[in-house]
Amino acid sequence: MLGRHGALEGEQDAAQPFEIDLEVEADFRGAARDDDLAKTVDYSLVVEKATEIVHRRRYRLLEALAGAIATEVLEIPAVRAVTVTVRKLRPPVAADMASAGVSLRRERVDGPP
């Protein structure tokens, strides 16, 4: 997905490609047992929240972008924890790298719903 994030001069002037991986932790026992969509996390909502942040906000640091995504995903009541990995594809560094990225994990502080 495209976003305008970066700390270097000009990085926020044009959209750059980013890759986002999300690993959601929740109580999936009911969904696994009953094969019931109503008993799992609405993944389209998870993706919608992440996409909104990448497209509409700007951050200097990948860490800040990942943290914002984690905060939003944890607002979904069934989500107990989330691991967010953000990779900037073709980063502006003096090396031939496919990507540079960070991962962070956050958990709900108020416990399970």
List active site positions. 88
16-25 and 81-89 beta bridge pairing: antiparallel
Instruction: Render 54-84 in DSSP notation, one character per residue.
Output: HHH---SSHHHHHHHHHHHHTTSTT--EEEE
- Local structure of 73: helix, strand or coil: helix
User: What radius of gyration do the chain's Cα atoms show?
Assistant: 16
* In contact, 91 and 18? CB cutoff 8 Å: no
